[in-house]
Structure 1
Amino acid sequence: MIPNWLLKRAALTPHAPALTFQRKTWSYLQLKEEAADRAGKLRALGLERGSRIALLGGTSAEMALLIHGCLLAGVEMVMLNARLTAEEIEYQLQDSESELLVCEEAFRNQAKQQICQTIVYDEFLQLERESFPLEQMWEEDRTLTIMYTSGTTGFPKGVRQTAENHTSSALSAVLNSGLHAGDAWLHMMPLFHISGFSILARAVLYGSEVRLFEKFDASAAAEEITTGRVTGMSVVAVTLERLLTVIENNKLTVHPKFRTLLAGGGPVPVSYLKRAEQCGLPVLQTYGMTETSSQTATLSAEDALRKPGSAGKPLFFTEIQIDGADEPFDRGEILIKGPHVTKGYIGKHTTAEALQEGWLHSGDIGYFDDEGFLFVADRRSDLIISGGENIYPAEIEAVLAEHPQVAEAGVCAMASAEWGAIPAAFVVTRSPINAESLMEFCQTRLASYKLPKSFHFVDELPRNASNKLLRKELREMLTAEK
């Protein structure tokens, strides 16, 4: 059994700062009281323990309070990516069998659908709360969150994350980075991502403060870091570079209290690491996925330049193997085992095997060096990581294939100085069509970050003897065009 996070934390340190947003701070006792109010409103809507609801909104204190309210109410949360189109949202609502969608006003149009009941958050707040006894303990296998990750077949998979998954992830993280009195984490990540949710979870377990911002702001981040208001922050490579630029241009000094800049979402260029060292920013590169409830391996700041490109070593409760590897530097699929790993998927992919003999097959190719440091050679081979967002080519190809004038489509990663990589599409057409028309077609079906940034019209796509699309050759075609 696992203690109900917020109830236990509010009992232990009721007056410690829990959440700060736009100059307002909630203590853990105040956070519990506000979350209990949201939980009572959910009960008033007829939701019980184990009910499944979807959340659609930005990064705000109100959304954080609603998340904590859902945890107190015992409902399972489907965390919808706020950048999805209405069509993508409908798929996830139907696949998850959500009973209710709570959305912020700004997302009202995206939330229009016939799958389940919808209520706008402002209207939700007007409801009378229903009193009910809050559970003091959770079963380890209890589902807390469901997050969709793009599927290799073009259909996103709903990943089930349990109380044990999130708790184990938080404990592994703190055993790696340590815990100090007065710790505060700068939160500029989307709350619907595993990275954003895990910050909230870790803070309650540790009793630390979350300093929440609506979105990434390099100038605000630099101020928080240099004035000593925060001790840690999560970034991806593109946001790290923007933060470095502000600190360098303004000749700012990082406060000695700041000790953890956690960088995920793909490798960090060595040039960024060198600049970070000059600025006094300790960068900890990490490797994880939705199925591992955030981090599964992390590289210490001390090893950042000694082991460039490495994701570090497995965290305390984690086992990692390289499938088929006998010696250091042998490459193979990365296999992961531990209490932070999902037990499976929901909906359309319920029957898909998440674990095989206890091991999660990540689909990523990697290796260990002779000191036991993990290197991720290819991110799911065809996966496009754009500014920390995971994009599967198959999903975009499936949309393009729906166009009546498109016979075939292939998508691959194209290098981007700003985002690391962006999608590029190769299209075989049945009749003439221009790139603008294809872009308009995609815009109603794909989130903006998934949209192809270039279209290349070709006579045929490269395939092997089994008729499998060769995306590696698509990338080579891009290179040849330069």
Structure 2
Amino acid sequence: MENWLVKRAKLDPDKIALILEHADFTFSELNSTVQLFASKLFASGIRQNDLIALFSDNCFNGYVAILALQQLGARTIFLDTELPEETLRYQLKDSQPKTVLISDSANTDELDKLTWSKIMMSDVLSLKRDHNYRPIDEFDEQQVAAIFYTPDVAKHDTGVILTYGNYFYSAIGTALNLGINKQDSWVLSLPLFNVPGFIIIMRSLIYGISVYLIDGFDIEHINKVLINEHATIISLTPTRLRELLNALPKGQRYNDKFRCIFLGTGQIDNWTLLRCNMLDIPVLQSYGMTETTSNISALNFNDAEIKAGSCGQPFFTTQIRITNINQDNIGNIEVKSPTVAVGYLNNDKLYRQRFTDDGFFKTGDVGYLDEDNFLYLKGRQADLIQSGDEIIYPEEVENIYHSVNGIIDICIVGIADSKGKKVPVAYLTTQDNAFLTSASLKEFGEHNLIDYQVPTEFRLINEFPRSTNGKILRNRLLNLKYQII
């Protein structure tokens, strides 16, 4: 395929590509800016197939740097700017990048402790352009586009290798599902260094649509954009969606052109869906992960109401099946798709272990397909609580408790009791004026859940440990200080 940015600048030179708080860029202007930066990266010694780590927040220079590295044919390793020193050290040692390209606006406190080769974007900008530079002509489907580290695969973070082919087929599946058109504009508020954020940049090039770039998940600014601008789609996690709704000014509605919230990374509770319905905010739940290049199934507009709670049908490019079905008719979610990652960096053995003999990828998630082939996610297999002969699905319990007035967020984990049996325990954060007790919360559970699902303890904490997308890091809860309420 012809170089995506160059191609889009030819097809839609005057179409708005990128919208910042105080400036807009057409595809032609964006291409010119990117090519200039790429020529300076070339002058700094970066060449095709070089492994380059990128350490950037959601800033304009970071956006440009991503596209510039693609023009050079470099392979970009995306570093989470909020990682601790130890994790950054491991990822750099594992990936062995030629250098780390750093945004001047990113917080580099942890990165500064490492002695790896680094170059600031401002230093690159000060270089003279190299007139020998030429952008690559084509993006080959098998060419590595990006490497993202995920903590969910093994004991150590694992680099997931994604190609241009992965991203192209992901974009096609999403476009067929959502009915993307040239009038759409996508709000990019998720971090660039995670797949759900980065993929919006790739979709923009493939679809020829505008992107609103927002840094730092500024809730007030995002709501203003959704209310006052012509933004049509925003990708969010359930946690971020709840934060936006809580901050939405009373009586306000999103703009008339707004089409949907494209929701990923976990289940959404029924109370939040009801709030969105009352505010006329369409929510399309989806399913995907880093290894599947983000979404591989999603609700569409026609099915959003009748299949609420579902992650939709598999995209046209994807097969999904359920195996090892248990007594609740829940089983392991396995997928086959051209969007599945082509490998794990330096870990071919683990990569091969994730596949069945007939080529399906084992996601590690559990759920079921209904009679209409709609997928319902029940959570991570590793998070399920085997309590005697019964299985507890934590997100199912959390969904019920989210409707309790005064609870900000809640997370259920399994802990062994005095007899060694796993029982559900709730960690939660509450509003300042909430008057909640263990007795009242247990009574609520007894009226709305099966007895074995009701948490045995309710542990109040100050704050949940979260990923940069707002997802609760369930495996870190046991180390937190708490108070029994």
Same fold (TM over 0.5): yes
Per the alignment, residue 203 of structure 2 pairs with 202
Matches within 5 A, 1:70-469: 70-105=69-104, 106-112=106-112, 116-130=116-130, 131-247=132-248, 249-324=249-324, 330-348=329-347, 352-353=351-352, 354-356=354-356, 357-382=358-383, 414-416=426-428, 452=476, 455=479
Contact 1:90 1:113 in 2 (8 A): no
Residues 455, 155 of structure 1: alpha-carbon distance in 2 compared, 3 angstrom cutoff? closer
Equivalent-residue separation in structure 2 for 1:448 and 1:16 (angstroms): 34
Equivalent-residue separation in structure 2 for 1:212 and 1:271 (angstroms): 29
Contact 1:161 1:293 in 2 (8 A): yes
CA shift digits 1:195-248 (9 cap, x unpaired): 11011110111111111111223332222222242011011112212222333x
Equivalent-residue separation in structure 2 for 1:64 and 1:255 (angstroms): 26
Q: Which has the higher contact order (CA 8 A, sep 6+)?
A: 1
Secondary structure in 2 aligned to 1:352? helix
Contact 1:72 1:135 in 2 (8 A): yes
User: How many residues are matched?
Assistant: 412
Contact 1:21 1:60 in 2 (8 A): no
What amino acid sits opposite 2:228 in the alignment?
T
How many angstroms does 1:17 deviate by?
0.5
Equivalent-residue separation in structure 1 for 2:103 and 2:355 (angstroms): 36
Equivalent-residue separation in structure 2 for 1:176 and 1:27 (angstroms): 26
Contact 1:188 1:216 in 2 (8 A): yes
Residues 88, 342 of structure 1: alpha-carbon distance in 2 compared, 3 angstrom cutoff? same
Residues 26, 132 of structure 1: alpha-carbon distance in 2 compared, 3 angstrom cutoff? same
Q: Considering only aligned residues, what root-mean-square deviation do their CA atoms show, in Å? A: 3.2
CA shift digits 1:44-87 (9 cap, x unpaired): 22222111010112111110000000111110000111110121
Residues 63, 350 of structure 1: alpha-carbon distance in 2 compared, 3 angstrom cutoff? farther
How many angstroms does 1:114 deviate by?
5.5
Equivalent-residue separation in structure 2 for 1:126 and 1:191 (angstroms): 24
Equivalent-residue separation in structure 2 for 1:17 and 1:351 (angstroms): 42
Contact 1:95 1:348 in 2 (8 A): no
Per the alignment, residue 47 of structure 2 pairs with 48
Contact 1:86 1:111 in 2 (8 A): yes
How many angstroms does 1:134 deviate by?
1.7
TM-score of the aligned structures, taking structure 2 as reference length: 0.78
Per the alignment, residue 428 of structure 1 pairs with none
Equivalent-residue separation in structure 2 for 1:418 and 1:170 (angstroms): 39
Residues 288, 111 of structure 1: alpha-carbon distance in 2 compared, 3 angstrom cutoff? same
Contact 2:318 2:336 in 1 (8 A): yes
What amino acid sits opposite 1:255 in the alignment?
N
Contact 2:181 2:207 in 1 (8 A): no
How many angstroms does 1:97 deviate by?
1.6
How many angstroms does 1:150 deviate by?
0.6
Equivalent-residue separation in structure 2 for 1:9 and 1:205 (angstroms): 8
Of stretches 288-297 and 104-113 in structure 1, the one that deviates more from structure 2 is 104-113
Per the alignment, residue 462 of structure 2 pairs with none
Contact 1:189 1:196 in 2 (8 A): yes
What amino acid sits opposite 1:40 in the alignment?
S
CA shift digits 1:337-395 (9 cap, x unpaired): 11111111112456532433321110111111122111112224339999xxxx9x9xx
The answer for unaligned runs of 5 or more in structure 2 is 385-393, 399-410, 414-421, 432-464
Residues 326, 272 of structure 1: alpha-carbon distance in 2 compared, 3 angstrom cutoff? closer
The answer for unaligned runs of 5 or more in structure 1 is 394-409, 420-441, 458-477
Contact 2:239 2:471 in 1 (8 A): no
Percent identical residues: 28
How many angstroms does 1:326 deviate by?
11
Residues 49, 311 of structure 1: alpha-carbon distance in 2 compared, 3 angstrom cutoff? same
Equivalent-residue separation in structure 1 for 2:125 and 2:187 (angstroms): 27
Per the alignment, residue 10 of structure 1 pairs with 9
TM-score of the aligned structures, taking structure 1 as reference length: 0.78
Secondary structure in 2 aligned to 1:107? coil
Equivalent-residue separation in structure 1 for 2:206 and 2:332 (angstroms): 33
Of stretches 53-62 and 39-48 in structure 1, the one that deviates more from structure 2 is 39-48
